[in-house]
Chain A
Amino acid sequence: MATSSGTTSIATPGQLLGPASKFQPGPGTHIHNSNLYSSLLGVVHASQPAKPPGPSKRLTKITVPTQTPAELPTLSVSRTGVSEKREVLPEVGNTVLCRVTRITPRQAVVAILICGDTVLEAEWQGLIRVQDVRATEKDKVKIYESFRPGDIVRAEVISLGDQANFYLSTARNELGVILATSEAGNNMYPVNWKEYMDPETGLSELRKVAKPY
């Protein structure tokens, strides 16, 4: 039942996978009475932990220190191979791709299309507020100089938000508009960090441009 090596086996919800003292819980598992149980129908994967990285140079973010010992292998139950349909929920910290549906002076409403590398089945709505568009000169940001309806935007989830929207942010160099269409209807190419140019008319339009990888 418990897979100590990299072999795979099938688990049903509620199946005992192993003691919690020997494994770390991964996705698709839960802990009850210091035992690890599966919570999904799927294939069990045991992954050995990566070598603990050396001490980071400098703390740029305040993070919760992880208490779990890093040398335990992580058990997870994944649905790959069981069915192609797998709903994922955008989580805080995920990078998502979304399409701008509506803009107002205070926010841009987007439809989240891809979360991580999973195409979402359901439609989830997101919101990029004016203060989350970029990290510097936040007071000078104007939404209509950053996004237009129809743009494809790469953004990061910063909050589960209110009842309807996930709150997204593009306040990093590699986040922002990755695909934009000009007013003439042509695909544009990025010129600098705030401009896209139409190759046919030669006109440029303002956007919050994502830095190409």
Chain B
Amino acid sequence: MSDRRRINGPVGATIPPASEDGASREVAGSRGGRSRPPNAIRKMYLKTGVTPSASGSAYLEIETSGRSGVSGLKLSCTVHGPRSLPRSSPFSPHIILSTHVKYAPFATRQRRGYLRDPSERDLGTHLEAALRGAIIADRWPKSGVDIIVSIIEGDQDRETSKTQGDESWDLMNALSGCITVASAALADAGIDCIDTVAGGVAALVSDKGDGNPSIVIDPIPSEHDRILAACCIAYLPTRDEVTNLWFKGDLPASDAELYTKLVEKGIQASAKANRVLVECLGETVG
């Protein structure tokens, strides 16, 4: 697994020294609560055609939650193709998707390696499933398309202690962003799709104040005490179809409909992101 071609940094985490300001806030214990209503997603900025050398590209930025030290999500996606398949591959009557998701080494608190790790492969597989349902694959026989998403900045609170273990929840937010940005880049590349697909996340959270867990959309792990369960949805609004569903966590057994409610909220979050996506695509032509 070790990368021999490049000069590697030191093994293990490199944590920048915490500033006086941040440390005092941590002691005071003022974990900023959710600043938005439970059914509002964060503001996002989306732009297509940012990489001239690619067939299609897009850039997505999701705003920070307003606290210093909390970074937003910054994603860049490039689409290369449709292009001819390598000579060794067999005949394919439809387009062959290959998706790559890569965190930049500096994107998260824990420094990432240059090689893809299992969580990045996982994201790539989920992204491929989400996009495959949206693409009209038989319009492009004998061709392949590469979709590469670079996570320039992860969605992470750098001040929160590492013990919280919210890395896996960050993955959900990253995936929903990946789906939205890849869909924009595919439309920019001129690959036939049945619809624009956007990602949305809903989560069941419990906060310190009240005992009852509540459902919020587009959660930031650091804004809540505990995330019980979360789901990431890729949704086609005009078809009313879900192309990818990723559910994680434990639901309390008391409410049987909680699962459906969570999925519904995820669809709601995805539909909101889709409105931004369609607006952005309309601007590129005009």
Contact in complex: B282, A13 (CB < 8 Å):
no
Which residues of the partner chain B approach A16 to less than 8 Å between Cβ atoms?
238
Within 8 Å CB of B196, what residues of A? 12-14
User: In the bound complex, do residue A89 and residue B81 qualify as a contact, i.e. CB atoms below 8 Å apart?
Assistant: no
Q: Which of A4-35 contact B (CB under 8 A)?
A: 10, 12-16, 28, 30, 32
* Option from B141, B239, B278, B281 in Cβ contact (under 8 Å) with A89: B141
Chain A proximity of B51: nearest CB distance (Å)? 12
Mask of B252-286 contacts with A, CB within 8 angstroms, 1/0 = 00000000000000000000000000100110111
Sorting the interface of chain B by its residue count into under 10, 10 to 19, 20 to 34 or 35 or more gives 35 or more
Question: By the criterion CB–CB under 8 Å, are A10 and B285 in contact?
Answer: yes
Taking the complex as formed, is B208 at the interface, i.e. its CB lies under 8 A from any CB of chain A? no
* B193: Cβ under 8 A from any A Cβ: yes
Tell me the minimal C-beta distance from B82 to chain A in angstroms. Answer: 5
Q: In the complex the two chains form, is B190's CB within 8 Å of A86's CB?
A: yes
A162–B21 CA distance with the chains assembled, in angstroms: 65
Q: Are B89 and A39 in contact, with the CB atoms below 8 A?
A: no
Chain B nearest Cβ from A123, distance in angstroms: 6
Are B84 and A41 within 8 A (Cβ)? Answer: no
Residues of A within 8 A of B (CB-CB), count: 32
Across the interface, do A79 and B190 meet the contact criterion of CB distance under 8 Å? yes
**B91 x A125 contact (CB < 8 A):** no
Residue of A nearest to B48 (CB): A41
Give the shortest distance, in Å, between B67 (CB) and chain A (any CB). 35
B105 to A: closest C-beta gap in Å: 31
Q: Name 12 extra pairs, CB < 8 A, besides A10-B282, A30-B136, A30-B194.
A: A13-B192, A13-B196, A13-B281, A37-B238, A40-B190, A40-B192, A81-B285, A82-B190, A83-B49, A122-B81, A122-B84, A160-B141
Interface residues of B (CB under 8 A from A): 49, 55, 81-85, 87, 89-92, 134, 136, 139-143, 187-190, 192-196, 236-239, 278, 281-282, 284-286
Report 30 cross-chain contacts, Cβ distance below 8 Å, ordered by A residue. A10-B286, A12-B196, A12-B278, A13-B187, A13-B196, A14-B193, A14-B239, A15-B238, A16-B238, A28-B192, A32-B239, A39-B136, A39-B139, A39-B193, A39-B194, A40-B192, A41-B190, A41-B281, A82-B190, A87-B81, A87-B83, A89-B82, A121-B55, A122-B82, A122-B84, A123-B83, A163-B89, A163-B91, A164-B84, A164-B87
